[in-house]
Structure 1
Amino acid sequence: MEERPIIKLEWSAMDKIMEGLGFLALVLLLALPIYYYPELPDRVPRHYDASGQVTAYGGKGMIWMMPIMGLITYTGLFFLNKVPHIFNYPTAITPENAEKQYRGATRMMRTLNLVIVFTFLFLTFSTIQTSLGLQEGLNEFFMGISIGLLTGVILIYLVWSIKTKGKQGRK
């Protein structure tokens, strides 16, 4: 197997905006439980069904599950995105197309990271609101929208990658 080129990609303005939004969402994800923890009841929702209704409750400490998972996921994807030459690609990576393919793959990963951290933020906020009696469960469309966004980002990237497989990156 031929070794893939290792290229350090410069961030575009869009990449910087996406990373900034992701980091802001991560900060909010961690700040919400800190702020609301003293007001939360002893039991908080820990599981929702597909329609968004609470199906199980847990101790107050469960409010930290989404922020912890969000922090681990965000951090892992952030650092993984620095080594696009190790990703799996739907097309062969050559010295001619490496920059363009890497740029597309890192943009996809950045978008997925943003969708995931906002999903965790929404879940945490909704769990807090439900715990405080300000809303009843999740929005009924939440599951479909979340899955649709994650799947859509991946499918758009796959189509783009296959369409541009032989094209060179910008110089």
Structure 2
Amino acid sequence: MAERPIIKLQWSAMDKIMEGLGFLALVLLLVLPIYFYPELPDRIPRHYNVSGQVTAYWGKGMIWMMPIMGLITYAGLFFLNKVPHVFNYPTAITPENAEKQYRGATRMMRTLNLTIVFIFLYLTYSTIQTSLGVQEGLSEFFIGLAMGLLTGVIVIYLVWSLKTKK
């Protein structure tokens, strides 16, 4: 494999908006358990089936699992996005197409990061609301919507990348 160009991409307005929304969602993901922790019962939902119904419980201290996973995932993807020359691409990267391909790939990663943090936020919020008796489990559409969004982002990027390989 030939050495790929290393380019420092400038953020567009859309990139800044997406990063801002992701960061706000991450902050909310961390604040929700802090705010609601004293009100939570000793046992909270741990697992939901495909219909969104609770199938298992664990101790309330585990409410931190999603925020911790969200923080690690968000930070990992955020920093990985700074080195797009190490990504795998469906097309050959050349000096002529590198900036365009890197920009597309970083936009996809940013979109995935935003989607993932919102998924963690929804799961945390729903777990809290279910624990407090305000709602019963997850929305029945959640699993399909989450998987559809994640898959859709990747498919749209792959199609775009293959169409714009030059």
Unpaired segments ≥5 residues, structure 2: none
Letter in 2 for 1:63: I
1:17-63 deviations in Å (ceiling 9; x for gaps): 00000000000000000000000000000100011000000001110
Runs of 4+ with deviation above 4 angstroms = none
Q: 1:151 aligns to what?
A: 151
- Find out whether 1:14 has 2:18 as its counterpart: no
| Distance (Å, rounded) in 2 between the aligned partners of 1:154 and 1:50 | 22
Q: State the SS of the aligned residue for 2:153.
A: helix
* Residues 1:48 and 2:55 aligned together: no
Task: Report how many residues are paired.
Answer: 166
List per-residue Cα deviations over 1:128-167 (Å, max 9, x = no partner).
000000000000000000000000000000000000001x
Q: Secondary structure at the match of 1:89?
A: coil
Q: CA shift at 1:88, angstroms?
A: 0.1
Q: C-alpha distance in 2, partners of 1:75/1:46?
A: 24
Q: What is the alpha-carbon distance in structure 2 between the residues aligned to residue 76 and residue 29 of structure 1?
A: 16
Equivalent in the alignment of 1:62: 62
**Structure 2: which amino acid aligns with 1:89?**
Y
Q: Secondary structure at the match of 1:34?
A: helix
Q: Distance in 1 between matches of 2:162 and 2:61?
A: 45
Residue matched to 1:98: 98
User: C-alpha distance in 2, partners of 1:90/1:106?
Assistant: 14
Report sequence identity in percent: 86
After superposition, residues 59-138 of structure 1 pair within 5 angstroms as 59-138=59-138
- Matched residue type, 2:85: H
Q: Distance in 2 between matches of 1:16 and 1:58?
A: 38
Distance 2:48 2:66 in 1: 13
Aligned residue for 1:8, secondary structure, equals: coil
- Residue 5 of structure 2 corresponds to 5
RMSD over aligned Cα, in angstroms? 0.3
Question: What are structure 1's unaligned runs of at least 5 residues?
Answer: 167-171
Q: What CA distance in whole angstroms lies between the structure 2 residues aligned with 1:55 and 1:77?
A: 31
